């Protein structure tokens, strides 16, 4: 059952969102369908809920986080596009004010970074961009929606990872027990998305791997971005998002360390940009006078500065 809230600006994306786990790794769609049937699971949406597994058989995405996810997807795709247009490279300074007509993504990101549950004054800021139905290829809208669905699909797979690994019947006593389950669910979702990518469309186009790995990294990056403004770190139920992000990068896209970047470096590059943006935005500087030998070194410093 898909309950679509009448007033949500992302109503038209809710069906694609709950179908995203099947679409982001199409080569495994039939396998995923079998798996969901075996565990009697449906992906669904409930505006009043948060992303979770409220009862056996339902993996639910909620409105509050879905809206914020799209807003972050829009902002991050604009951020990356502007850096590319200004030929950004390590050490270069990017001027986000060059084009005054292109500032709305920053307002939308500020809104998305506000923590907390939906409240009266927390509705989508209607003067800022919102997703349009069927955006044209090559537009910022289309890019945002693609990232939104890739991130959201990975997040739903994470919840399925809890079900498949039988976490709900485990006795979870300590924080460490619960954290272990979170890492297992992350790893299950990432492996699902990345392990079989070469079975898709001939397996020679590395952009497929880049899109999937960046999508998973960005999903964890959104959680880590919140930490810049409201540091929570380890919680009883969940490990520090920054540690989960680094764990994903190390395990699934280990940095090549080569002068000529490899495709596994793409996710590191995106994470580095997003964290740097938020830290500068929050008035914090992360910089070693001697520079960084690797992106991992920078990301460690950035996590330290959260």
Q: Which residues are at the interface with Zn ion (CB under 5 A)?
A: 182, 185
Q: How far is the CB of 265 from Zn ion (least distance, A)?
A: 27
Compare residues 184 and 206 and give the one whose CB is closer to Zn ion. Answer: 184
Give the other-Cβ count within 10 Å of 102's Cβ: 15
For helices 241-252 and 175-194, angle between their N-to-C axes, nearest 10 degrees: 40
Which residues are registered as beta bridge partners of 45?
A: 2, 61
Cβ of residue 77: shortest distance to Zn ion, in angstroms? 25
Position of minimal CB gap to Zn ion? 185
- List all residues 6 or more positions away from 210 whose beta carbon is below 8 Å from its beta carbon: 263, 266, 267
Length of the chain: 306
Q: Which lies closer to Zn ion via its Cβ, residue 178 or residue 198?
A: 178
Identity of the residue, 129 or 239, whose beta carbon is nearer to Zn ion in the bound complex: 239
Cα–Cα distance measured from residue 226 to residue 113, given in angstroms and rounded to the nearest whole number: 6
265-290 as b/e, with b when 16 or more CB fall inside 10 Å?
bbbbbbbbbbbbbbbebeeeebeeee
We find the least distance from the C-beta atom of residue 303 to Zn ion, in angstroms, to be 20
Min CB(41)–Zn ion separation in Å: 15
Residue 172 or residue 263: which is nearer to Zn ion going by CB? 172
In this complex, which beta carbon is closest to Zn ion, that of residue 32 or of residue 51? 51
Q: What is the DSSP string of 150-170?
A: HHHHHHHHHHHHHHHTTGGGS
Q: Shortest gap between Cβ of 117 and Zn ion (angstroms)?
A: 18
Nearest-approach distance from CB 128 to Zn ion, in angstroms = 30
> Between residues 2 and 235, which has the closer beta carbon with respect to Zn ion?
235
């Amino acid at each position: 059952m898909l309950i679509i809230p009448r007033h949500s600006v992302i109503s038209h994306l809710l069906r694609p969102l709950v179908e995203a786990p099947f679409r982001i790794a199409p080569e495994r769609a039939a396998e995923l369908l079998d798996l969901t049937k075996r565990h009697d699971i449906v992906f669904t949406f409930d505006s009043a809920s948060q992303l979770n597994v409220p009862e056996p058989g339902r993996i639910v995405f909620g409105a509050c986080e879905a809206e914020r996810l799209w807003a972050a997807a829009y902002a991050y795709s604009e951020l990356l596009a502007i850096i590319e247009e200004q030929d950004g490279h390590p050490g270069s300074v990017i001027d986000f004010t060059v084009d005054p007509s292109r500032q709305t993504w920053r307002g939308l990101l500020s809104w998305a970074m506000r923590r907390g549950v939906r409240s009266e004054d927390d509705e989508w800021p209607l003067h800022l961009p919102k997703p349009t139905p069927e955006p044209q290829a090559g537009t910022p809208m289309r890019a945002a929606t693609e990232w939104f669905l890739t991130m959201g699909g990975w997040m739903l797979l994470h919840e399925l990872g809890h079900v498949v690994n039988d976490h709900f019947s485990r006795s979870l006593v300590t924080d460490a027990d619960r954290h272990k389950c979170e890492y297992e669910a992350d790893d299950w979702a990432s492996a699902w998305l990345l392990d079989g990518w070469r079975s898709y469309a001939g397996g020679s186009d590395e952009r497929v791997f880049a899109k999937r790995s960046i999508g998973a990294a960005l999903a964890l990056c959104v959680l880590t971005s919140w930490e810049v403004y409201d540091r929570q770190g380890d919680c009883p139920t969940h490990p520090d998002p920054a540690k989960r992000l680094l764990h994903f990068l190390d395990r699934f896209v280990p940095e090549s360390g080569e002068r000529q970047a490899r495709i596994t470096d793409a996710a590191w590059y995106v994470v580095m940009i997003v964290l740097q943006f938020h830290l500068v935005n929050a008035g914090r500087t992360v910089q070693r006078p001697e520079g960084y030998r690797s992106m991992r070194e920078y990301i460690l410093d950035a996590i330290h500065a959260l």
